[in-house]
Amino acid sequence: MLLHTNLSSTLEWAGVTPWFGGNLNIIFAQIRKVALAEVEEIRVRVGQPLLLQGSGRDIFLNALGVPCRQKEAYLVSRQDLALTLERVTQSSLYAAEEELKQGFFTLPGGHRVGIAGEAILRGKEVQTLKHISALNFRLAREIRGSARGVIPFLLKSDGDFCHTLMLSAPRAGKTTLLRDLIYLLSTGIPELGLRGQTVGVVDERGELAGMRQGIPTYNLGPRTDVLDGCPKGIGMSMLVRSMAPQIIAVDELGHPDDVSALADALRTGVKILATAHASSWDEALHRPILKILFTEKVFTRIVLLNRQHGPGTIAGIIDTLTGRNLYEETRLETIGTKAGLGPIV
Amino acid sequence: MLILGCVGLITGCGGIGLIIAGRIRRRPRELREFLTALSLLDTEIVWGATPLPEAFASLEERVERPWQGFFGELKDRLLSGESAAMAWKGVVRAQSRQFALKLEDWQVIKDLGKGLGQSDRQQQHKQLELVQRQLALLQEQAGTWAEKQAKMWSYLGFLCGLAGVIILI
C-alpha cells in the first residue's frame, strides 16, 4: 500500500518560491517541467548544483528552472544560501536559535529545513551553527485517507485502540501516516465502530500540526489538542494533566526522557500512538531506548514502513503479543481468495 | 487696508515661526517615542524570541505616529521577503521626511538596521542597548536645544513680521 496514492497536497511551486532568496527565487519562480508532487526534497549546497530529489530520482535544475544534466545545472552561490536563510528565518536568526542547535527548523506547513554548517560547541553541547553551507527542504504533505487501510489492524475486537509504534527509516512516510491516523482517530470511523477519541499531540518539531501563531496548518480532527514546540518528555505529562486525552500522539521517540514520560502516561490509562526511526523490526529491537519499551511490552502493534514502492509502503503490522505479522497475513489471504485458493494462514 | 496687510504679514510670519518651532519640539518627542519602541523590541527579541515581522506588528500597534507607519512598513517589507537590513534602509529612506529628526539621529537609527536579526538574542540585546544609549544622549541634547530653538523661532516669526511692517510703512 502506498501513502501517496490519494495525495491531496495543495502545495504549489508558487508557495515554495518565497522560501528562496537570490537567484534561487528567480529559478523557482520560472520552474518548468517538474511537478511539485514528484519532489520530496530540495537540496541547496554552496558551490553545488541545485538538486531536487523525488522518489528514487534526482532532478538537477539550470538557471532557467528547467531540468538538465548535472554539469549544466545552476551552481548555488553563498549569497543565494545566505538570502534563503534570511527568508526562511524571516530575518530573525535569534528566533531560530534553539532549532539551529538541533540542526533544523520547521516552516509554516510543517516543512522541515535541515541545516549543515560549522558547529560551535559549548562544552559537549552544540551552541549554534555558523558558516552554514547546506540546506535541505523536506516537503511535508497532507494525505487524507492514507491511514484508512491501516486502522483496522490497530483496533482490538472491542474497538479499543492498541498502543501503536510506527517504525521506518527517514523519508518513508511516518509523519504523514501519523498525521492521518490522528485525524481518523479524532474524527472516528463509525463503520469500524470507532468513536471519535480525544487525542493529545505533542508536536515537538512543529511538523505534525504545522502550527502558525496558534493555528494548525493541518487538520488533525475535531477532538485534537496540540502542544506545539514542547519536548515530548515534558509535553506528555502536561497533556495528561491538562487536557485528559484518550490517546497521546508523538513523533520520533528516541530520548531517554521520552521513555519515562511514556511510562507515566501509561499509568493514567492513556493510549500511545508514536513513531521512531528504525529501518527494520530487528534494528528497533537492538536500539537501547526502544528495547526498553519492547521489553516492557508497551506497544501491542508495530507498523513497519519502507520506501519499496515509494514513501509510505506498509511493510508489515506486527502484533507484539503473538509476534504475527497481521498485515502480511491479510494480504496473503486476499491474494489466496482472489486466486480461488482459499485463505492461506 | 494697510492695517489688514500689516496684521496679515505679522500673522503669516508668526505662523511660519510657530510651525518651525513646533517641528523643533517634535524631535525630542520622536526620539523618546523611538527609545520606547526599541525597549519594546528588545523585550520581544530577548524574552519572546519573536520573529521580526511579528515584533514590528506589535510595535505598530503600541507606538504613536509617525513611528506607527515606520514599523508598519517594515513589517510589510519583511513579509514580502525583503531582508531586514534592506527593509530598514528602504523605510528610513522612504519615511525620513515625515519626521523632525536630524541627520545625526538618522545616522544612529540607520546603523541599527545593519545587524538586525542576524545574530543570537544576546548579541541583539547588546546592539539594541548600544543604540538606546546613543539615542538617549541625543535625546538629552535635543531636549535642551529644542527648548531654546523653539522659543527663538516662536518670537522670531512675529518679529520678522513686525520688521517687515516697519520697513513697508
Is residue A73 over pLDDT 90? yes
Q: Which residue of A has its CA nearest to B51?
A: A92
Contact residues, A window 196-235, toward B, CB-based 8 Å cutoff: 213
Q: Report the alpha-carbon distance of residue A180 to residue B26 in Å, rounded.
A: 58
Is A197 contained in some domain?
A: yes
Best residue in A92, A101, A122 for a mutation probing chain B (most B CBs within 10 Å): A92
Position of cell 538537477? Answer: A60
Is A64 contained in some domain?
A: yes
Average pLDDT, chain B: 88
We report the CATH number of the domain holding residue A115 as 3.30.450
Asked, as a colleague might, if the bond just before A190 is cis with ω within 30 of 0, I would say no
Integer CA distances (angstroms), A56 to A41, A53, A146, A307, B119, in order? 11, 8, 21, 9, 38
Is A127 contained in some domain?
A: yes
Distance from CA of A88 to the nearest CA of B (A): 9
pLDDT of residue A71: 92
CB contact under 8 A, A91 and B87: yes
- Tell me, yes or no, whether A186 and A91 share the same domain: no
pLDDT-based confidence at residue A17 (cuts at 50, 70, 90): very high
Option in B78, B83, B123 nearest A83 (CB): B83
CB contact under 8 A, B78 and A97: no
Q: Report the alpha-carbon distance of residue A179 to residue A19 in Å, rounded.
A: 24
Residues in A closer than 8 angstroms to B119, CB to CB, are 93-94
Is A287 contained in some domain?
A: yes
Q: Which residue of A has its CA nearest to B125?
A: A94
CB contact under 8 A, A97 and B120: yes
Alpha helices in chain A (DSSP H): 13-16, 22-29, 78-88, 97-102, 174-187, 232-243, 256-267, 281-286, 288-295, 326-338
Domain that holds residue A125: 3-138
pLDDT of residue A4: 33
CB contact under 8 A, A94 and B78: no
Is A192 contained in some domain?
A: yes
- Tell me, yes or no, whether A117 and A181 share the same domain: no
Is A145 contained in some domain?
A: no
Q: Report the alpha-carbon distance of residue A95 to residue A49 in Å, rounded.
A: 29
pLDDT per position as a tens digit, A209-243: 877 767 788 889 999 999 988 888 899 989 998 99
pLDDT of residue B67: 92
How large a percentage of chain A has pLDDT more than 70? 91
Is A50 contained in some domain?
A: yes
- Tell me, yes or no, whether A166 and A132 share the same domain: no
* Number of CB atoms found within 10 A of residue A285's CB: 12
pLDDT per position as a tens digit, A166-214: 999 887 888 889 999 999 999 998 888 889 999 999 988 888 887 776 7
- Tell me, yes or no, whether A125 and A86 share the same domain: yes
Distance from CA of B42 to the nearest CA of A (A): 12
Last residue of a domain, one of A112, A138, A164: A138
C-alpha dihedral (B111, B113, B116, B118), degrees to nearest 10: -90
Is A341 contained in some domain?
A: no
Strand partners, A275: A166
pLDDT of residue A342: 31
- A295 at the B interface (CB within 8 A)? no
Last residue of a domain, one of A110, A138, A166: A138
CA-wise closest residue to A166 among A227, A97, A94, A251: A251
**What is the pTM assigned to this prediction?**
0.70
Is residue A333 over pLDDT 60? no
Q: Which residue of A has its CA nearest to B53?
A: A90
Is residue A293 over pLDDT 60? yes
CB contact under 8 A, A86 and B84: yes
Residues in A closer than 8 angstroms to B50, CB to CB, are 92, 95
Q: Report the alpha-carbon distance of residue A329 to residue A325 in Å, rounded.
A: 6
For B71-88, what is the mean pLDDT?
92
pLDDT per position as a tens digit, B119-152: 888 899 999 999 999 999 988 888 788 778 777 7
Q: Which residue of A has its CA nearest to B123?
A: A94
At A210, which amino acid appears? G
- Tell me, yes or no, whether A288 and A195 share the same domain: yes
Position of cell 548535472? Answer: A70
pLDDT per position as a tens digit, A244-263: 999 999 988 888 888 888 88
- Tell me, yes or no, whether A155 and A114 share the same domain: no
C-alpha dihedral (B89, B95, B99, B101), degrees to nearest 10: 20
- Tell me, yes or no, whether A235 and A105 share the same domain: no
Which residues, at least 6 apart from B168, have a Cβ–Cβ distance to it below 8 Å? B5, B6, B9
Q: Report the alpha-carbon distance of residue B42 to residue A238 in Å, rounded.
A: 30
**Separation of CA A17 from chain center:** 22
Orientation of helix A78-88 relative to helix A22-29, angle to 10°: 80
- Tell me, yes or no, whether A191 and A297 share the same domain: yes
- Tell me, yes or no, whether A131 and A156 share the same domain: no
**Separation of CA A291 from chain center:** 22
A133 phi and psi angles, rounded to 5 deg: -115, -15
A140 dihedral zone (left: phi>0; alpha: psi -120 to 50; beta): beta
CB contact under 8 A, A87 and B52: no
ipTM over 0.90: no
A280 burial via Cβ count (<10 Å: 0-12, 13-18, 19+) = middle
pLDDT per position as a tens digit, A138-161: 988 777 777 888 999 999 888 889
Distance from CA of B146 to the nearest CA of A (A): 37
Average pLDDT, chain A: 84
We report the CATH number of the domain holding residue A315 as 3.40.50.300
Report the number of distinct structural domains present in chain A. Answer: 2
Whether the CB-CB separation of A258 and A293 falls below 8 Å is answered with: no
Is residue A80 over pLDDT 90? yes
How large a percentage of chain B has pLDDT more than 90? 43
- Tell me, yes or no, whether A214 and A301 share the same domain: yes
Which residues, at least 6 apart from A271, have a Cβ–Cβ distance to it below 8 Å? A161, A162, A163, A197, A246, A247, A248
Integer CA distances (angstroms), A126 to A113, A119, A129, A130, in order? 18, 6, 8, 11
A255 phi and psi angles, rounded to 5 deg: -90, 145
Whether the CB-CB separation of B52 and A90 falls below 8 Å is answered with: yes
Last residue of a domain, one of A114, A138, A162: A138
- Tell me, yes or no, whether A248 and A199 share the same domain: yes
pLDDT-based confidence at residue A313 (cuts at 50, 70, 90): confident
Is residue A3 over pLDDT 50? no
- Tell me, yes or no, whether A177 and A290 share the same domain: yes
Which residues, at least 6 apart from B164, have a Cβ–Cβ distance to it below 8 Å? B9, B10, B13
pLDDT of residue A153: 92
Q: Report the alpha-carbon distance of residue B49 to residue A270 in Å, rounded.
A: 34
* Number of CB atoms found within 10 A of residue A171's CB: 14
